[in-house]
Amino acid sequence: MRWLLSLVLVLAHVGLVRAEEPIRVFFGPKAADDPNGLIHNLLKFLDSAKTNIHGSAHEVDMILVAEKLAERAAAGVDVHVVIEADWWESPKNKAARQILANSKVKISPDTKKSGLMHNKFFIADGKRVWTGSTNLTQTCLLYNPNNAVWIDNDKVAANFESEFSDQAAGKFGKKGAGKNHTAHPIVRLDESTAVTTLFSPKDTTLKSIVDVVDAAKETIDIACFVFSSREVGEAVLAAHKRGVKVRVLLDNVFSSPAATASWKYVPFNELKRAGVSCKYDDEASKLHHKFVVADRKVVITGSFNLSASAAADNDENLLIVESAAVAKQYSSEFERLWKLYHGDPGESPPPEKGDVGSAP
């Protein structure tokens, strides 16, 4: 057997056996059984847990996910999920809620006095992290454009475990968040990949986004459900004025004047007026992504919409990934969507309750 192990190591070294990337990236919508899809790989991630699964989820209505969590708990895995209280009590989540309520899964709703509990992350065995823009819902996993990352790194996992522990103890929003105690704010996964982990409202998330935008020299591509932050909008405008090629793709739920009437600043309008290439999607599905790609080498992703409420009120997570390989995948997704949508938003679909909480 020793010779076989040696052979595998040699083949991996020369590239004939593919080692897993430090960050695996998934995009949707794709079919439930697509091996590159969100739901297939989320279930695979949950199956990878041997001792514990700790999660923080804005919403769960996907029966497959609820059943998988219950199955893992029945197998002896410690499964504990923090969830947004308002959505947990919603009638649309009743079937999934009943599955989890009748299982060994521990559920901890957030406090209604806080902002949105808007995270979408899981930690498996304190070693692996799943996060991104994707809620655990049928629409997000199978219908809306979304993304997720799977990171195999115990230091990044420790950062998320710390955030989970705060939430499990009932610490939510700007009143309960307390001081930042992320043990490993910047983690180098390999020679070409580094990850910065941030949580709101305890970290300076908007400033970190602005720093990435300010550092861009060639290109900035933004695909985001909500973009209402003046701070980020003005930084993007400044990048455009210094010659950076900027493209912005947003969801058409906020394309009508009525939908943004309460906003003090509408970045889409300001950027469009200045000559920045801006589009809305033209589908009833939500463009639910929350990512930025700068210079095709830095990616911002997570649960975080580009809004002041995401920074100051909500419980969110944000990753800044320095990796040309990861950026290439996000750039490909952006190009796909940019070509798909023509820019005319059509009739703006009505916003849902959770959409309002994501902005301004």
Rounded Cα–Cα distance for residues 199 and 314 (Å): 10
In the chain, alpha helices (H): 2-14, 38-47, 63-74, 85-88, 94-101, 138-142, 154-168, 173-176, 205-215, 230-241, 267-273, 308-312, 324-340, 353-357
Can you tell me whether residue 326 is helix, strand or coil?
Answer: helix
Phi, psi of 335 (to 5 degrees): -60, -40
Beta-bridged to residue 187, according to DSSP, are 195
Can you tell me whether residue 1 is helix, strand or coil?
Answer: coil
Active-site residue list: 288, 290, 295
Rounded Cα–Cα distance for residues 130 and 196 (Å): 15
Phi, psi of 83 (to 5 degrees): -145, 150
C-alpha closest to that of 92 among 70, 59, 115, 124: 59
Degrees to nearest 5, angle at CA 69 with 165 and 59: 70
Contact between 220 and 293 under an 8 Å Cβ cutoff? The reply is yes
Question: What letter does residue 18 receive in the DSSP assignment?
Answer: P
Rounded Cα–Cα distance for residues 194 and 156 (Å): 10
Contact between 63 and 98 under an 8 Å Cβ cutoff? The reply is no
Residue environment code for 203-216, b if the CB has 16+ CB neighbours within 10 A, otherwise e: bebbebbbebbeeb
Calculate the CA 345 to chain-centre distance. Answer: 24
61: left (phi over 0), alpha (psi -120 to 50) or beta: alpha
Contact between 72 and 103 under an 8 Å Cβ cutoff? The reply is no
